[in-house]
Amino acid sequence: MHTRRDFLQKITYSAMAFPLLAATRQSDLFHFNKEPYDGPVLRVAIMGLGGYGTRVARAMEACKKAKLVGLISGTPAKIKDWRSKYQIPEKNCYNYENFDELKDNPDIDAVYVITPNALHHDQVIRAAKAGKHVICEKPMGLNAQEGEEMIRACNEANVKLLVGYRMHFEPNTLEVVHMREKGDFGKIHFFQGQCGFRIGDPNQWRLDKALAGGGSLVDIGIYAINGARYMVGEEPIWVAAQETKTDPVKFREGVDETILFQLGFPRGAVASCLSTYNMNHLDRFFLNGEKGFAEMQPSTGYGPIEGRTHKGKLTQPHVTHQTLQMEEMASIILQGKKSVIPVDGEEGLKDLKIIDAIYKSCKSGDKLNLNL
């Protein structure tokens, strides 16, 4: 059984409304770094200095509305290296045992939790109790109950809880959503989401149920779940799912290898999605409507996102996803801006409810109703 400290020390070494769309046009996102900015800056501490934390930190170097000012890690060597690279003062550095002391540090506004899934719940609640806004990587928690408790803790502390849905700010994705809202596709009939890759090291935390909370579904399949919702533009009302496992040694009990799932929507649209840890070259969204279509491949990778619609190629410029995300989240937290596609805790909770239902359907074989 891994302890929190054992695990954290190990991983640190490894590395929808149309009016709102009009208010946040893609051009606003592209040119943020070219225009002068003299407004409030969100001062962020990153919790978890592994591979994705490194990517976020690098992306934030291009931000004007958000700045990396603090570090939280269980590995002193990591903190030393990051302090030197990003000029972080020692007083803004914490470990996993003492970061509650953030409550006495007025120089940090928000904590970005980028740790394994099983740690999100407690760390988000502790950061909220310290009076800090929280950004949490997805999945927000291990299940809907955890998500509800995280939302409640942030509400009680009067801090914002956002989820790292970087695709909600990606320009080509927003262009497709904009086209749907304009009616370019007509009534939506079908969505397909294929998300997967062949996972490597069998000893990594993503294949440990106690740390990951599941397998491919919570790691990569969540993109298809969330994508189905923002591409169709409705909340699903039923789900059915089937699990396939070809390697029970690598994918132990509670760690899913491959899951097929279907979602049904109020106006009749259906979604057919695949989540897997055993197939490469799967990163595709397809949306079909009575008047047209949109296809994106790659659809959720770090970019560039590429795609086409019945009107032609998607041509919005690529900007580093995490830079766009942090700029927009800074505006949400500090200025009350509304995002085109929500990124708040309630958005994260809906995905957790669907994940719970998918796992339940896999076990029972039943088609289940959803109430999001």
Catalytic positions, please? 138, 223
Strands 368-369 and 238-244: antiparallel
Q: What are the CB-based long-range contacts (under 8 Å, 24+) for 290-296?
A: 290/185, 290/186, 290/187, 290/189, 291/183, 291/184, 291/185, 291/186, 292/184, 292/185, 292/186, 293/185, 294/176, 294/179, 294/180, 294/185, 294/231, 296/172, 296/173, 296/176
Residue type at 126 in one-letter notation: R
Cα 190 from Cα 202, distance rounded (Å): 35
Residue 285 and residue 204 in contact, taking contact as beta carbons nearer than 8 Å: no
Q: Which of the 8 DSSP states describes residue 24?
A: S
Q: Could you give the CA distance from residue 130 to residue 208 in angstroms, rounded to a whole number?
A: 30
Instruction: List the one residue out of 361, 204, 224 whose CA is nearest residue 283.
Output: 224
Cα gap 110→161, rounded to integer Å? 10
- Measured between alpha carbons, how far is 280 from 260 in angstroms, rounded to an integer? 16
Q: Are 166 and 322 in contact (CB under 8 A)?
A: yes
Q: Are 60 and 44 in contact, with CB atoms under 8 Å apart?
A: yes
Q: Give residue 33's Cα distance to chain centre.
A: 23
Cβ count within 10 A of residue 346: 14
Asked whether the beta carbons of 96 and 116 are under 8 A apart, the reply is: no
Q: What is the DSSP letter of 167?
A: G
- Which value, to the nearest 10 degrees, does the dihedral of the CA atoms of residues 34, 333, 320, 218 take? -170
For 108-165, the three-class secondary structure string (H helix, E strand, C coil) is: CCEEEECCCHHHHHHHHHHHHHCCCEEEECCCCCCCHHHHHHHHHHHHHCCCCEEECC
